[in-house]
Amino acid sequence: MGLSCASFAGRAGQFSGVGTSLQTRYTKLLTGYVITDYILCVTPTTFDHRSRRPIFPALNARAKDHQSAGESPPAPAPPGAHLEDEYPVTDNQQNRTQGAAGTTDAQKAPQLQLKDIHKEFNGNTVLSDISLDVNAGEVVAFIGPSGAGKSTLLRCVNYLETPSSGELLIDGKPTVKIASKPTRNELMNLRRQVGMVFQSFNLFPHISVLRNVALPQERVLGRSRKEAEERAMELLTRVGLGDKADARPSKCSGGQQQRIAIARALALDPEIMLFDEPTSALDPELGGEVLAVMQELAATGMTMLVVTHEMSFARRVSDRTVFMADGRIVEQGAPEQVFGAPREARTKKFLEAVLER
């Protein structure tokens, strides 16, 4: 049921506008079917037993400490409050800043490369020749005004939108053939490597939280139900939702549903994670829960591309901040440079507006 993966890329352009209008205007009509197909359309093949890195060790430890004391974990501070305490510099971030000189040529090779990515919707240019290299373990935050093309760029990375031209490479290898209909195998390989968390949670309402996280593993990776549910329970526990395993998504808060969506994406063992404004539909307290999970994930060394309006998160957690406007990369650099001493007038104008709110 739903649009096929192969056909969605072509159909999405009929509905999409600049920026995030597909999510906001057509979510109920289109997105649920698309995400269902996105998650489940890949035929299972031999399971790739990749090593699993520990995820969210600090978050897990904090939850256990509170449980042993008979307390409920404290709610995180709203994003932007007590910036230094809320989003301390991650070890991952610090190590790259201090240790770049000792990196070998092999280690410097980008994990993800975007080369001259161009995208048009009905004759309107949405992305204009975007080129970007992302290193393994790097956290890149995309900021900018609505309609800048940030979400469209992320959707091009995993082929939810079809780039009009350009090239996408992972570990130096092309992912799909741009300007041609992707094959099922191309999409299968790409979606195994690149996970995505959307603005809307897109959980299956008729099955339990546990099954929401387990089912894609069975369909995409060919795991047995037992193995998939064990992995699902492991991840739900790590995002602090082990007690919600048997509940339906409708019984969970918005922040909890987004954490379930993150667990679902991680269950497929991706090498790269895309986050498309994951807190935009949440109030500050619930958004803080999601951002805390994302920070823990960044600390494990996961490669992450994050479209966000949370300036404090971008500044404190990302390794690089990319400012986009009018379908172009206007400026990029270390967050302390982009936020503290922006070079471009357009960047300065945007930051002055958002930071004064």
CA-based nearest residue to 283, from 322, 310, 306, 264 = 310
The answer to whether residue 236 sits within a structural domain is yes
Distance (Å) of CA 99 to CA 102, 104, 315, 337? 6, 11, 20, 19
Instruction: Give the pLDDT score at 85.
Output: 45
Q: Give a yes or no: residue 51 inside a domain.
A: no
Torsion of CA 309, 312, 315, 320, to 10 degrees: -30
Beta carbons within 8 Å of 51's beta carbon, 6+ residues apart: none
Angle in degrees, CA 271, 314, 175, rounded to 5: 30
Instruction: Single out the residue of 304, 286, 285, 284 nearest to residue 294, CA to CA.
Output: 304
Is residue 78 a part of any domain in this protein? Answer: no
Collapsed DSSP state (helix, strand, coil) of residue 186: helix
Coil, strand or helix at 344: coil
In terms of Cα–Cα distance, which of 3, 146, 331, 159 is closest to 321?
Answer: 331
* pLDDT recorded at residue 92: 47
100 to 88, 93, 105, 106: CA distances (angstroms)? 20, 11, 11, 13
Q: Which residues are 333's β-sheet partners?
A: 321
Within its chain, how far is the Cα of 274 from the centroid?
2
* Calpha distance 169→113 (Å, rounded): 5
Question: Is residue 180 in some structural domain?
Answer: yes
Q: Is residue 22 part of a domain?
A: no
Q: How far is CA 274 from CA 105, 154, 303, in A?
A: 26, 7, 9
d(CA 150, CA 143): 8
Q: Are 110 and 319 in contact (CB under 8 A)?
A: no
Bridge partner residues of 306 (DSSP): 141, 275
Bridge partners of 134, per DSSP, are 112
10-residue stretch averages of pLDDT, the chain, 357 residues long: 40 42 37 45 34 42 45 43 43 44 54 96 94 97 96 93 92 82 83 89 93 94 96 95 96 93 93 92 83 91 94 93 97 97 96 85
User: Is 12 part of a structural domain of the chain?
Assistant: no
Q: Which amino acid is at 269?
A: D
Per-residue pLDDT, 93: 52
Residue 20 has φ and ψ, to the nearest 5°, of -110, 25
In a domain, 16, yes or no: no
Range of the domain at 230: 112-356
Pairing mode of beta strands 320-325, 139-143:
parallel
pTM, 2 dp: 0.73
Specify the residue for token string 């679902």.
264
Contact 305, 311 (CB under 8 A): no
**Structural domain contains residue 48:** no
Dihedral sign from CA coordinates of 245, 249, 250, 255: positive
* DSSP β-ladder status, 112-121 and 124-134: antiparallel
Helix (H) or strand (E) holding 97: helix 91-99
CA atoms within 13 A on the CB side of 200: 20
Q: What angle do CA 179, 184, 186 make, to 5 degrees?
A: 60
Residue 247 is part of a domain; what is its CATH number?
3.40.50.300
Q: How many domains does the chain have?
A: 1
CA atoms within 13 A on the CB side of 97: 16
Cα gap 26→12, rounded to integer Å: 10
Buried (b) or exposed (e) across 178-204, using 16+ Cβ within 10 A? beeebeeebbbbbbbbbbbbbbbbbbb
